[in-house]
Amino acid sequence: MAAIDLRRLRLRPGEARRLELDVELEPFVLGGQRYEALPATVPATVDVTLATGATVFDLALHARLVGPCMRCLGHAEVELDVGARELHDPDARPGDDLRSDYVRDGRLEVDAWARDAIALGLPDQILCRSDCAGLCPVCGKDLNAEPHEHADVELDPRWSALEDLRDRL
Ligand SMILES: [Zn+2]
Ligand SMILES: [Zn+2]
């Protein structure tokens, strides 16, 4: 597990240190789909600065996630540069903004922090391409490969119940 033992840094006030470490990323589950980090281990940089009143942590890493398109279930991937900052004052009360949730027992848990920062940086939808047409709601075929419409098809009664509801709203 990637973590930084803060006591061993022995920083003086105003002093900063840059640390490079490898972060292991477990697959992410989003909207019931699984997204693997490729590679699963990524290098991360953490800058630790001992400021007045708190220690400042700055995290930077690059990650690539691969999994199904949320519309058509085809191959999709997303790359992101993550930058995040945490403040920590060991004397602050739990729940205080100056008390980082990622510092436990004097250690900064970089794995957990990186994971949350990536999750926050992800787009709402992971798509094979921004204009993915998705799957046909009637027959389930891929509308990217076979664009089509069903003019005269009876909609599934469950769908028409939804339509009625929408009309009434
Ligand atoms: Zn798609
Ligand atoms: Zn269809």
**Which residue type does 80 have?**
L
How confident is the model at residue 161, as a pLDDT?
66
Instruction: Look up residue 32 and give its DSSP letter.
Output: T
Residue whose pair of structure tokens reads 């989003």 in the numeric block: 30
**What residue ranges of the chain have pLDDT lower than 50?**
none
Ligand 1 center–CA 31 separation, angstroms: 15
Position 70 scores a pLDDT of 95
145: CA distance to ligand 1 center in Å? 10
**pLDDT for res 94:** 77
The answer to whether the CB of 75 falls within 8 A of the CB of 50 is no
- Residue 49 β-bridge partners: 16, 56
**C-alpha 29 to ligand 2 mean position (Å):** 28
What pLDDT, on the 0 to 100 scale, is given for residue 169?
A: 64
CB 48 within 8 Å of CB 14: no
Spacing, Cα 17 to ligand 2 middle (Å): 58
Burial of 104 (0-12, 13-18, 19+ CB in 10 A): exposed
**What are the extents of the domains in the chain?**
3-132, 135-169
Report which of 65, 69, 78, 35 is spatially closest to residue 142, judged by C-alpha positions: 69
Q: Using the 8-state DSSP alphabet, how is residue 15 labeled?
A: -
Residue 58 CB partners (closer than 8 Å, separation 6+): 46, 47, 49, 83, 84, 85
pLDDT of residue 158: 66
**CB-proximal residues (5 Å) to ion ligand 1:** 69, 71-72, 74, 128, 132
- Quick count: other Cβ atoms within 10 Å of Cβ 36? 15
pLDDT at 92: 85
Quick one: tokens of 40? 């699963």
CA 85 and chain centroid, separation: 15
Tell me the per-residue pLDDT of 97-144, one tens digit each, with 9 for 90 and over: 889 999 999 999 999 999 999 999 999 999 999 999 999 999 999 999
Place of tokens 């008390």: 99
Q: How far apart are the CA of 62 and the centre of ligand 1, in A?
A: 23
Measured in angstroms, how far is the CA atom of residue 152 from the centroid of ligand 2?
11
**152 CA from centroid of ligand 1 (Å):** 26
CA of 143 to the centre of ligand 2 (A): 8
**The pLDDT of residue 90:** 84
Centroid of ligand 2 to alpha carbon of 132 (angstroms): 15
